[in-house]
A and B are shown apart, each in its own frame.
Chain A
Amino acid sequence: MGNITLKLFGKTLKNPVMNASGTLGYGKEIEPLWGVETLGCYVTKGLSMKPHHGNPLPRIWEERCGMINSIGLQNIGVERFFEEYFPFFKRKKTPIIINFFGFTEDEYIGCAQKIKPDRQIIALEMNLSCPNIKKGGISFGKEADTVYEIVRNVKAVTKIPLLAKLTPEVKNIVEIAVAAYEAGADGLTLINTIPAAVVDVNKRTVPIKGGLSGPVVRSVALRAVYECSKAVPIPVVGVGGIMDTQDAVAFLMAGAHAIQIGTATFIDPYKIPKIIEELREYLDVHGYAGIENIIGITHDQ
């Protein structure tokens, strides 16, 4: 049997498949269908220092091969997460990545400080797509110097490995990736949703502006993973439009150490366990001893 376990930040994950932040609730919601212990690692919904109500409606819209969401990061806050949900992951012995955000740099730092190291916490994943209130709503992740500064300052307050999750809405994502690496990021998550809008032609309005996800973003994500994983020596987690095992393999070959599945779960709630099973079969059929043998295989061309 092909070995799909892998090492990430010194810890062993039983497979390279995670959920994308914000697409598997607080974890418990999927339990009527399958258990979170199936995942290589569970990624939390974006958490903030204080609870956050999120955006008014509409929050979702369908696109041809994807969807637009404007949830606005509704969450119960990092403290309540640790009181109400973390024990559940402890009990299930499921590794976890804490995705977090802030609207000011202090909020990012405060949030990271509140998270105490624990052997089950694999990493913190900082969402750099949030609007920076001080800078008039421009996201933190758009300029290399802002990314450098915030990653460095967060890194200074935590001992937990830090993944920087980047927005693709930038001039040159490789430059941003390098800035995050130089500031001390231990890994990158690529990519977040792509800013998008809808026009209601009948009503002559823009009913929703939000982030685009699903198959329509896949090739954009794949390019980011390919180029950034060649440019920096830290692990990259690939995310964006992965709908099946073929897509998952493509991201691994492009240089991702692990992959996250988001929108696909809404289309088929069993997609994650299916992909995990099929990755094992893929290795067998193609004669690879382990998943690590295909990671970045395209780089050697």
Chain B
Amino acid sequence: MVDTEAQIIENKNVVLDYFLLRLKPAKTMGKIMPGQFVMLKIPGNEVFLRRPFSIYDYDMGILTIMYKVVGKGTELLSKTGKDTLTSVLGPLGNGFHVNQRDAYLTVAGGIGIAGIHFLVKSLKEKASVFFGCSSHIETALLEDIANLNPMVSTLDGSYGYKGNVVEMLKNHLETTENIDREIFVCGPEGMLKNLKTSINKNKISCQALVEERMACGLGLCFGCVKKTIDENEPYKRVCKEGPVFDLWEISL
């Protein structure tokens, strides 16, 4: 883990509100597990706390983040130019564990793709990719994993399956052989809840990357907790014990 200065080498709009940020950290970030994240300083003095972002990619010393503009920090970040210097702290948290299975299903909703991408890249053909979004426009986010033939659902039916990604996954599970498989998921809380209900009958193994507001990212402040089924210690830190949790252990 390092806290290092980093230079923005590219900050480009991919489609709609989605951006891809490439950074060159002054120090190497070491070994990274898919699902881990960084705390990024938003350049300038407007935003006080750092913001957490999944590691979308890390290759040849270049760190890539995919982000969606949702508020003040991401808005300012989207307006930050090339060559700007900032700081990144990472890699942080516990990523996905790839256990030996017959099949791996990765599931992302919208910007959730940012949390799954590095895993998909490392699993390559071994992964089936399920991506849910609003309309065909967002399929632009899948460009560099297009060779893996992601299965896409759109809410408006303009591309792929019409409906949400959890329904699409459910159909897939019902129509394919019941082999030893594991699901890796990243998306909004509503989607995780939905998924949990929909696979409840078979209790398929599932690791979920969850999000929460963070201050430190290091386990220092206890601000980012998620409620779990552990009766003695229900609140676990997303940044330290997570951000990847066993779906069956968290309360949604």
Residue ranges of A at the interface with B (Cβ–Cβ < 8 Å): 22-25, 29-30, 32-33, 45, 51, 53-54, 56-67, 69, 71, 74, 76, 214, 263, 265-270
Q: Which of B1, B218, B219 has the most CB of A within 10 A?
A: B218
B:209-246 near A, CB below 8 Å: 212-216, 218-225, 227, 232-235, 240
Given known pairs A29-B220, A33-B3, A60-B215, the reply for A65 and B48 (CB within 8 Å) is: yes
Docked complex Cα distance between A69 and B214 (Å): 11
| A53 and B234 contacting across the interface, CB-CB below 8 Å | yes
Bound Cα distance A76, B223 (Å) = 15
Contact at A266–B216, with CB atoms within 8 Å?
yes
Residues of B within 8 A of A268 (CB): 3, 87
> Is B24 part of the binding interface, using a Cβ–Cβ cutoff of 8 Å?
no
Taken together as a complex, chains A and B put the C-alpha atoms of A51 and B222 apart, in Å, by: 14
A-B contact pairs, 8 of them (CB 8 A): A25-B222, A54-B235, A60-B213, A69-B215, A69-B221, A74-B225, A74-B235, A269-B216
Question: Is B50 interfacial (CB-CB < 8 Å)?
Answer: yes
Known: A33-B1, A58-B213. A53 touches B49 (CB 8 A): no
- Judging by beta carbons under 8 Å apart, are A214 and B232 in contact? no
B223 near A60 (CB under 8 angstroms)? yes
Q: Are A62 and B3 in contact (CB under 8 A)?
A: no
Asked whether any CB of chain A lies closer than 8 Å to the CB of B89, the reply is yes
Docked-complex contact B224 and A266, CB < 8 angstroms: no
In the complex the two chains form, is A59's CB within 8 Å of B48's CB?
no
Cα(A53)–Cα(B225), bound, Å: 11
The CA-CA distance from A54 to B3 in the complex, in Å, is 29
Cα–Cα distance between A63 and B220 once the two chains are bound (Å): 19
CA gap between A202 and B216 in the complex, in Å: 27
CB-CB < 8 A to B221: which residues of A? 22-23, 25, 60, 69, 71, 266
B47 within 8 A of A: yes
Q: Closest 10 interchain pairs by CB?
A: A60-B223, A29-B219, A266-B216, A25-B220, A32-B1, A59-B223, A266-B215, A71-B222, A60-B215, A74-B222
Residues of the A chain whose Cβ atoms lie less than 8 Å from the Cβ of B233: 51, 53, 76
User: What 0/1 pattern do residues 186 to 225 of B give for CB contact below 8 A with A?
Assistant: 0000000000000000000000000011111011111111
* In the complex, chain B residues whose CB is within 8 Å of the CB of A59: 213, 222-225
A25's nearest neighbour on chain B, judged by CB, is B220
Contacts between the two chains (Cβ within 8 Å), count = 88
On chain A, the residues within 8 Å of B212 by CB distance are: 57
Docked CA distance A108–B7 (Å): 50
Contacting pair A214 B48 (CB below 8 A): yes
Q: In the complex, what residues of A have CB within 8 A of residue B1's CB?
A: 32-33
Report the separation of the CA atoms of residues A270 and B216 in the bound assembly, to the nearest whole angstrom.
12
- Residue ranges of B at the interface with A (Cβ–Cβ < 8 Å): 1, 3, 47-50, 87, 89, 212-216, 218-225, 227, 232-235, 240
- In whole angstroms, what is the CA distance A69 to B219 when docked? 15
**A178, B89: Cα distance in complex, Å:** 43
B220/A267 in contact, CB under 8 A: no
Return chain A residues, CB-CB under 8 Å to B3.
33, 268-270
Bound state CA distance, A293 and B83, in angstroms? 44
Query: Hey, which chain A residues are within 8 Å of B225, CB to CB?
Result: 54, 57, 59, 74
Q: How long is the Cα–Cα vector from A269 to B87 in the complex, in angstroms?
A: 11
Residue of A nearest to B46 (CB): A64
Complex interface: chain B residues within 8 A of A32 (CB): 1
Is A64 a contact partner of B48 (Cβ separation < 8 A)? yes
User: How close is B137's CB to chain A, nearest CB, in angstroms?
Assistant: 26
Q: Which of B1, B47, B89, B216 has the most CB of A within 10 A?
A: B216
Q: Chain A residues near B49 (CB, 8 Å)?
A: 60, 62, 67, 266-267
Docked CA distance A267–B232 (Å): 31
In the assembled complex, which residues on chain B have CB atoms less than 8 Å from the CB atom of A53?
A: 233-235
User: Chain A nearest CB: distance from B239 CB in Å?
Assistant: 9
How far, in whole Å, are A54 and B223 apart by their CA atoms in the complex? 10
A219 to B190, CA, bound (A): 43
- Please name all residues of chain A whose beta carbon is closer than 8 Å to the beta carbon of B215 when the two chains form the complex: 60, 67, 69, 263, 266
Min CB distance A271 to B, Å, is 10
Q: A25-B219, A30-B220, A74-B222 are in contact. Are A61 and B50 (CB under 8 A)?
A: no
Given known contacts A32-B1, A61-B213, A270-B3, A67 and B222 CB-to-CB distance under 8 angstroms: no
Known contacts A33-B3, A53-B235, A74-B225; A265/B220 CB under 8 A: yes
Docked Cα-Cα span, A25 to B89, in Å, equals 17
Question: By the criterion CB–CB under 8 Å, are B48 and A63 in contact?
Answer: yes
Query: Smallest distance from the beta carbon of B136 to chain A beta carbons, Å?
Result: 29
Point out the residues of chain A lying under 8 angstroms from B219, CB to CB: 25, 29
Give CA–CA (A63, B227) in the complex, Å: 25
**Given A33-B218, A60-B213; 8 other pairs, CB 8 A cutoff:** A51-B233, A61-B213, A62-B47, A64-B48, A69-B221, A214-B48, A265-B220, A269-B89
- B220, A266: Cβ atoms closer than 8 Å: yes
Query: How far is it, in angstroms, between the C-alpha of A33 and the C-alpha of B222 when the chains are bound?
Result: 18
- For A60, what are the chain B residues with a Cβ–Cβ distance below 8 Å? 49, 213-215, 221, 223-224
What is the distance, in angstroms, from A156's C-beta to the closest C-beta of chain B? Answer: 32
